[in-house]
Amino acid sequence: MISTKYKKIIFPLLSVTATGILFSCGNASRDQAGTSGRKPNIVYILADDLGYAQLGCYGQQKIETPNIDALAANGMIFTQHYSGAPLCAPSRCVLLTGKHTGHAQIRANDEWGKRGEVWDYVKTQENPELEGQYPLKAGTQTIASILQKEGYKTALVGKWGLGGPETEGAPNKLGFDFFFGHNCQRQAWNYYPRYLWKDTIKVWLNNELIIPGTKDKKAKLPKGADPKDENSYSAFSSNEYAPERMQKEAIVFIRENKEQPFFLYYATPIPHAALQAPKHWIDHYREKFGDEEPYSGEKNYFPTRYPHATYAAMVSYLDEQVGELVTILKELGLYENTLIIFASDNGPANAGGSDSPWFDSAKPFKCGPGWGKGELTEGGIRVPMIAHWSGRIKAGQQTNLISAFYDVLPTLCDVAEIETPHDSDGISFLPTLLGEKKQRTHDFLYWEFPGAGGQQAIRMEKWKGVRRNILKDSLRVQLYNLDEDIQELTDVSSRYPEIVQQMEKLFEQEHQTPENETFRMKTLGD
């Protein structure tokens, strides 16, 4: 039950509320476009490390997300949508370029350490050459660059992670007219940073430098501090909360471009650790959850007095922001002609006090250590996706279409009536959104990930094939029947050798040797 206090801050989105996953069917003709006569606006909201079951409309019981649930109730829920990879940078590369990780330029997080002391937060403040991850190449075609050429105003608000500020992989060089947020994933580990980027200019915030804990150097409470005293944690927050600044810039972008079609890629850092949230939301969940044990900082990031309450607060704050965006679209008369998509870049994390098992963050999949973020398990790569387009997508729909991040580029090309690049690995799911019957489907989905010992995975109808420990010369295929074993607990490869052989051929077929040696796996012939 939502408390009276909480009801006061829910935005008045839609007349239908989501109490769970809704089922219905229907067709919406493409001729029923918005009445404006111009191409539709596109708002793609990407959460960071949000698990499959961390929204109310996907079954979450502890965290309240009424605004996102309302989008789902009046739109379409995807039950079999997959991220591009199990980690931030490669997943975003797949999303923006429409190529799976066997073909993508970025296949893992690469902190690009050969530049120098990239983990030195003090030096990085003044030297942008130390900031950012391994970059996309100059001229890389992205969703943004494609839409930009067709007259769309394009913006990225949030986290980038695909090339440092002074590289060819910076957002403004790859199709974004406007950028505001974190260029570097490391800098996004603190929600009270010293600065954010506005295009190519640093915007300094009224915050002190707070250095997140890492595996080599933990952030700890001051000596002698009482871990039960909330005041002991004051050093781990400051004045300006980065997501609030990002929200303001997103709203300004929408207002300034209301007269022309726009694409807003809202890549929020929430709910990636560190656990930091507005106090009123933490207080709400403290009241709801009761007292709890503090997080001491042993698994990186910052110590937190109320880890469960703070994590839930972050997700609900994001939900509040989604509600505000929808309200602005309605206020400006843009709501009817705007496609809104909400998704997450990978499965839930198990670091920084986030405690995915307590929230059952990937239900019905496993989500504890070894099963969520960083793994090609269902909990690591199957993610929530909601699509809402008033008057075009019929309310209350659910689809079991098997799809992935690399399908987003061709879908948005179809939405904007633009030709899809011939080298995309994706298939447009616009027919599904519009209730049409001529939806093409994938024969299989493919992933590879050189982290966590080296992994490959294939989803082929009910079958899931996984290779683990590739870096240790293991090419053995583990096979799971997802219809009968959704948690991937029983390897049935010995019973279905013919399916395994198909998987082996596909693993070899879909892998291309990456240019970046960091992403190579010698066992695959790289």
CATH code for residues 22-30+37-442: 3.40.720.10
pLDDT of residue 215: 84
Stretch(es) of the chain classified as CATH 3.30.1120.10: 444-526
Residue 513 CA to residue 87 CA, distance in Å, equals 20
Rg (CA), the chain: 22
Task: Going residue by residue through the chain, which has 526 residues, state the pLDDT in tens, using 9 for 90 and above.
Answer: 233 333 333 443 333 333 333 333 333 334 434 445 799 999 999 999 999 999 999 999 999 999 999 999 999 999 999 999 999 999 999 999 999 999 999 999 999 999 999 999 999 999 999 999 999 999 999 999 999 999 999 999 999 999 999 999 999 999 999 999 999 999 999 999 999 999 999 999 999 999 999 888 899 999 999 999 999 999 999 999 999 999 999 999 999 999 999 999 999 999 999 999 999 999 999 999 999 999 999 989 999 999 999 999 999 999 999 999 999 999 999 999 999 999 999 999 999 999 999 999 999 999 999 999 999 999 999 999 999 999 999 999 999 999 999 999 999 999 999 999 999 999 999 999 999 999 999 999 999 999 999 999 999 999 999 999 999 999 999 999 999 999 999 999 999 999 999 999 999 999 999 999 999 999 999 9
pLDDT of residue 235: 94
pLDDT of residue 299: 87
Among the listed residues 234, 420, 311, the one whose alpha carbon sits nearest the alpha carbon of residue 54:
311
Cβ neighbour number for residue 324 with a 10 Å cutoff: 16
Stretch(es) of the chain classified as CATH 3.40.720.10: 22-30+37-442
pLDDT of residue 216: 85
Residue 518 CA to residue 526 CA, distance in Å, equals 11
- CATH T-level assignment (fold) for domain 444-526: Arylsulfatase, C-terminal domain (3.30.1120)
Task: Report helix, strand or coil for 295.
Answer: strand
DSSP for 438-464, written as a single string = -----S-EEEEESSTT-EEEEEETTEE
The secondary structure of residue 203, as a DSSP letter, is E
pLDDT of residue 36: 54
Contact in structure between 127 and 147 (CB atoms under 8 Å): no
Q: Which two structure tokens, joined as six digits, stand for 148?
A: 């930009």
In this structure, are strands 201-204 and 195-198 parallel, antiparallel, or unpaired? antiparallel
Residue 417 CA to residue 173 CA, distance in Å, equals 24
Unique residue bearing structure tokens 């690995």 = 425
The secondary structure of residue 274, as a DSSP letter, is S
Residue 269 CA to residue 275 CA, distance in Å, equals 11
